[in-house]
Amino acid sequence: MTTSREALVQVEAVSKRFTPDISFGDRLASWLGSPVETRTVHAVDQVSFDIRRGEVLGLVGESGCGKSTLGRVVAGIHPPSNGQAMIDGLTVMGEGRNPLKTTTRIQMVFQDPFASLDPRVRIGETISEGPLAHGLVTKAGAGAYVSRWLEAVGLPADAAERFPHQFSGGQRQRVAIARALAMQPDVLICDEPVASLDVSIQAQIINLFLKLRRELGVTMLFISHDLGVVRHICDRVAIMYLGRIVEMGPAAEIFANPRHPYTRALLDSVPKLVTGSDALVTFKPIQGELPSPLSPPSGCHFHLRCPFVKARCKTDPPDLDGHAHAVSCHFPLTKKAE
Amino acid sequence: MSAALLEVSGLTTRFDTRNGSLNAVEDVSFTVAEGEIVGLVGESGSGKSVTGFSILGLIDPPGRIVSGSVKLNGRELVGLSHAELRSMRGREIAMVFQDPSATLNPVLTIGRQMRLAIAAHESLSEQAANARCIEVLTTVGIPDAARRIEAYPHQYSGGMRQRVAIAIALLNRPKLIICDEPTTALDVSIQAQILTEMKSLAAKLGTAMIWISHDLATVSSVASRILVMYAGRLIEAGPIAEVLRQPRHPYTKGLLNSLPGIATPGQDLVQIPGSMPSLIDLPEGCSFRPRCDFADGECGVMPALSVDGARSLRCHHALARGTAP
Amino acid sequence: MRRESTPLSRFWDEFRLNTVAMVALGVVVLISALALSAPLISPQNPYDLANLVLTDARRPPGFVGSKGFTHWLGTDAQGRDLLSAILYGLRISIQIGLIAGGIAFSLGAMLGAFAAYFGGRIEALIMRIIDLQLSFPAILLALVLAALLGQGKWPLIAALVTAQYAYFARTAHGAAATERSKDYVDAALSTPLKASRVVFRHILPNCLPPLIVVATVQVANSIALEATLSFLGLGLPVTEPSLGMLIANGFQYMLSGRYWISIYPGVALIVLIVAINLVGDQVRDQLNPRLKR
């Protein structure tokens, strides 16, 4: 995709590889000429996309596809191995060997609110420490500032005095959202923010996101494996498979007319609520399992499981082509076939 | 409906904690017919898993079954000794858990564990046992089972491990398998594979199942009957399509409305306010009262489970028929 | 929302249930209180040479000295009242144990936590030095250092810290590496917060449970180590005897029947160390997540 004027976030050819530290013993062995196996994981491979101001982009994929890693690179938690993530033309990470995040305009909400809040810090301090550190609020004004954000996410002001363990999962997730919002970000990266919540609580948090979006106009990268949730709150959707985006386009369009065989298979795998009749539900499951990201297959990463695989797919990796609705496939599906 | 295979009546399981005692399961009654797949649905803390554990006699102190009965083929299971329960488990009722790594021993090969599971109930020759293992592994969709049988659990992927756990549950051809969130930890594509296989297995072998899950959509794609639990009690039950099309309990309806798949994208979901009360500190009367739109003075008394044909309901203000979500 | 219960109050509620640990804690508190108030309650100031009467030396327990008071535990070779000497000696031992333990704790915890936080070469460097040091016996290291630095309180403390900080560093490193991978640290990085704030406000407080366990063991260890060094003559000067030196001084009289000069300080030392260890055992049992039901 080309960068448009209204793009707020630009992700340019970002790759992220994880190579475990080579131990001293292994280094010694390699000096002495013995071959040492380095197990590099290609978590994210040359991914590019834009998020326009005020837009919610969904990032969908199965576990191990690299969507969380990509989210953390855009949020400035991990530096990218190659490429860069930018907000308004400024890079998220600084320069150097151990680059640091240079902006507060991108904040993140995590999947597990039991892990993402420090158990020993009171809610009030959790929310105010970032704004205090970056001068968004004075010490004197911190109390009122915290109350304001607690109210915005639907929690009482006296929650500030409590510890995380005194809250339920849904309430903790509200705290985590308040912490991110208190930094007054332009962009929110949400990594599976409703996946660990019960259905009735999940609906409450989804409604909270919808409300924040209406009232604050927050731009979001919404990472999820739950296609129902993504369809409900995202404007555009990017589908990831084994570190690459295989399809990207308007949500309604992707769900109605998937063009990549993987997207199609994913949509077919989702159990749907059966209310019509007692007829047996049939899935068309994708064959096989996700290949290891340690040694991804050559060519198109999906070719081992693709029902439409041809010779070219095994050697030649396809590019992400197309403007509004882009697909990375040599032989994209045309219309939803029977 | 054929004769009941499992008959649970008035089951109450209590846990004594430092902060007081609570009934994780209270007055739960239902039946499972032979070959039937029953979905048991609820949010965390609803008592759905404890119900499963109670049926198997797997409740450890500080928990205990304080009243009620569980009958399998007419035989009472509550009050059996540990030894009797052990000989019953695996052979008559088996269980599949959410996390297969918790069931599989990491230091034994899959084949060894399976042969031990057979040896616990039956004496078969080494070859016969091995042949049965390979056959069952093939049934649950493990390719090349004859070769992979001597591998260790960590050499299998998450989805494959869950298949092995299911295979072990099937080994002694039990009449009933209790599946506790068996696909929750898996990706949708793997989940779809396993759902498909479980359904065809149940049909082929005539095994009954209790499918415990928080996910209505998953349950609706395997089960023929649904039981909905809230705060330890059964609040609604009936044929699945009917219940999902015309829920009569406000909670069931609220749960369906909470699903993002049904509403128009971008619209607010119709949410249930608040959260499930603590089991130690339940409100007087109906547990759902504080979150219910229809609550009134009458709800200060716990409604009884009323049976109406195939459906049963625990509510004073049953939603009228024809109020589809 | 549940009722207000701080982690500390829950910890104490559980601790109270173990009678042995409660008795041990009582002993530790009692000994510490006695040692702390030694100048107020002991009959004699054993460090004031003008107070010592040589004719009263090596008298058995119960002897009424020339100053008119009873030596309940007898006197030592210099004519010191042993009860007073033990109380003053405990004071020094506990003081040195706590100061050395405290410095070793802070230094070790910081090194370990920063190593885990930054990772890479910094981590490799710090942890290899610590591994190297842990491969020597602590007593050997302390002996060499005490010999090099000479006599006195601070050289002794320096020797004890050097011998012990590595245990804290290793524990802190392990705990911090676990905490480092948790989402709340990633949340702090995405804010972003300064490294010092992340380490001191978030990572270190969460590493405290295992460090407290090591601390209780190490305070007892440093008291024992100090006694050992003093016994070997590498500790404090003879004029300010700690427990180890009292034991050493009395050692030569053991065979001549004057057992009390060595035995009573020894008993005091053993009771203190055993009591601290019993408290430490209970703390460890409570803080170890693997033993939790």
Cα distance between residue B95 and residue A196, in whole Å: 24
| Pairing relationship of beta strands A187-191 and A106-109 according to DSSP bridges | parallel
Please tell me which residue, A31 or A50, carries the higher pLDDT value. A50
Cβ(B124)–Cβ(B132) below 8 Å: yes
Cα distance between residue A245 and residue B147, in whole Å: 36
pLDDT tens digits, one per residue of C186-239: 999 999 999 999 999 999 999 988 898 889 888 888 888 888 888 888 777 777
pLDDT of amino acid B1: 44
Please tell me which residue, C120 or A80, carries the higher pLDDT value. A80
Nearest CA in chain B to A208: B268
- Listing DSSP states for C221-285 in one string gives HHHHHHHHHHHTT-SS-TTS--HHHHHHHHHTTGGGT-THHHHHHHHHHHHHHHHHHHHHHHHHH
Query: In Å, how far is A267's CA from the nearest CA of chain B?
Result: 9
Cα distance between residue B320 and residue A77, in whole Å: 52
Closest by CA position to C82, among listed C229, C212, C210, C245: C245
Contacts 24+ apart (CB under 8 A), A94-97: none
Nearest CA in chain C to A170: C1
Which C positions 188-217 lie with beta carbon below 8 A of chain A?
A: 189-194, 197, 201-202, 205-206
Please tell me which residue, B142 or A130, carries the higher pLDDT value. A130
Q: Is C186 on the interface with A (CB under 8 A)?
A: yes
Size of interface A-C (CB pairs under 8 A): 75
Which A positions 211-240 lie with beta carbon below 8 A of chain C?
A: none
pLDDT tens digits, one per residue of A188-214: 999 999 988 998 899 999 999 999 999
Query: In Å, how far is C115's CA from the nearest CA of chain A?
Result: 14
pLDDT of amino acid B324: 46
Closest by CA position to B259, among listed A194, A306, C43, C30: A194
Query: In Å, how far is C4's CA from the nearest CA of chain A?
Result: 8
Q: Which of B256, B258, B267 to mutate to test the interface with A (most CBs of A within 10 A)?
A: B258
Which chain A residues are closer than 8 Å to B192 by Cβ? 268-271, 283-286
Which chain B residues are closer than 8 Å to A198 by Cβ? 43-44, 214, 276
* Opening angle at CA C238, ends C237 and C241, nearest 5: 95
Give the C-alpha distances (Å, rounded to integers) separating A111 from A101, A241, B65, C189, C192: 21, 20, 36, 16, 19
Average pLDDT over residues A169-174: 93
pLDDT (tens place) for every residue of chain B, 325 residues total: 456 899 999 999 999 887 788 899 999 999 999 989 999 999 988 999 999 999 998 888 888 999 999 999 989 999 889 889 888 888 899 999 888 877 888 899 999 999 998 888 888 888 899 999 998 888 888 888 888 888 898 888 888 888 899 899 988 889 999 999 988 888 888 888 888 888 888 888 889 999 999 999 899 889 999 999 999 999 999 999 899 989 999 999 999 999 887 788 888 998 899 888 888 888 889 999 999 989 888 899 999 999 988 899 999 988 876 544 4
Cα distance between residue B206 and residue B218, in whole Å: 20
Q: Name which of A24, A130, A163 is nearest C191 (Cβ-Cβ).
A: A130
pLDDT of amino acid B322: 52
pLDDT of C96 above 50 = yes
No. of helices (H) and no. of strands (E), chain A = 9, 11
Average pLDDT over residues C55-69: 74
Cα distance between residue C67 and residue A221, in whole Å: 86
- Listing DSSP states for B44-90 in one string gives TTSSHHHHHHHHTT-PPTTEEEEEEEEEETTEE-TT--HHHHHHHBT
Cβ(B233)–Cβ(B26) below 8 Å: yes
Which chain A residues are closer than 8 Å to B191 by Cβ? 269, 271
Return the partners of chain B (3 or more C-beta pairs < 8 Å).
A
Interchain CB distance below 8 Å, A120 and C186: no
Interchain CB distance below 8 Å, B261 and A232: yes
Neighbours of B17 (CB within 10 A): 11
pLDDT of amino acid B6: 94
Which chain B residues are closer than 8 Å to A210 by Cβ? 266, 268
Please tell me which residue, A298 or C71, carries the higher pLDDT value. A298
Interchain CB distance below 8 Å, B192 and A285: yes
Query: In Å, how far is C120's CA from the nearest CA of chain A?
Result: 8
Least trusted range by pLDDT, from A81-90, C118-127, C171-180: C118-127
Beginning with the edge strand found earlier in the chain, give each strand of the sheet holding B20-33 in spatial order. Answer: B20-33, B4-17, B63-72, B75-76
At C293, is the pLDDT very low, low, confident or very high (cuts 50, 70, 90)? very low
Q: Is A158 on the interface with C (CB under 8 A)?
A: no
pLDDT of amino acid B209: 94
Return the partners of chain A (3 or more C-beta pairs < 8 Å).
B, C
**C-alpha dihedral sign at B196, B197, B203, B209:** negative
At A279, is the pLDDT very low, low, confident or very high (cuts 50, 70, 90)? very low
Size of interface A-B (CB pairs under 8 A): 139
At A5, is the pLDDT very low, low, confident or very high (cuts 50, 70, 90)? low
- Listing DSSP states for A163-198 in one string gives -GGGS-HHHHHHHHHHHHHTT--SEEEEESTTTTS-
Cα distance between residue C102 and residue C164, in whole Å: 10
pLDDT of C181 above 60 = yes
Q: Name which of A115, A120, A176 is nearest C205 (Cβ-Cβ).
A: A120
* Average pLDDT value for chain C: 84
Query: In Å, how far is A259's CA from the nearest CA of chain C?
Result: 35
Average pLDDT over residues C38-47: 80
pLDDT of A248 above 50 = yes
Q: Which of C5, C190, C194, C212 to mutate to test the interface with A (most CBs of A within 10 A)?
A: C190
Which chain B residues are closer than 8 Å to A228 by Cβ? 259-261
Residue appearing with tokens 């039946």: B31
Query: In Å, how far is A188's CA from the nearest CA of chain B?
Result: 18
ipTM of the complex: 0.87
- Listing DSSP states for B239-306 in one string gives EHHHHHHS--SHHHHHHHHH-TTTSPTTSPP-PPPS-PPPGGGPPSS-TTGGG-TT--GGGGSPPP-E
- Which two tokens mark B61? 């102190």
Interchain CB distance below 8 Å, B159 and A269: no
Cβ(A108)–Cβ(A51) below 8 Å: no
pLDDT of A143 above 90 = yes
Q: Name which of B193, B221, B260 is nearest A281 (Cβ-Cβ).
A: B221
Q: At what angle do helices B188-205 and B158-170 cross, to 10 degrees?
A: 10
- Which two tokens mark C220? 């007892």
Query: In Å, how far is A155's CA from the nearest CA of chain B?
Result: 11
Q: Is A133 on the interface with C (CB under 8 A)?
A: yes
Q: Name which of B195, B217, B275 is nearest A201 (Cβ-Cβ).
A: B275
Cα distance between residue B186 and residue A62, in whole Å: 9
Interchain CB distance below 8 Å, C4 and A166: yes
This model's pTM is above 0.90: no
Query: In Å, how far is B250's CA from the nearest CA of chain A?
Result: 12
At C258, is the pLDDT very low, low, confident or very high (cuts 50, 70, 90)? confident
Average pLDDT over residues C14-40: 88
Which chain A residues are closer than 8 Å to C2 by Cβ? 165-166
At A224, is the pLDDT very low, low, confident or very high (cuts 50, 70, 90)? very high
Q: Is A155 on the interface with B (CB under 8 A)?
A: no
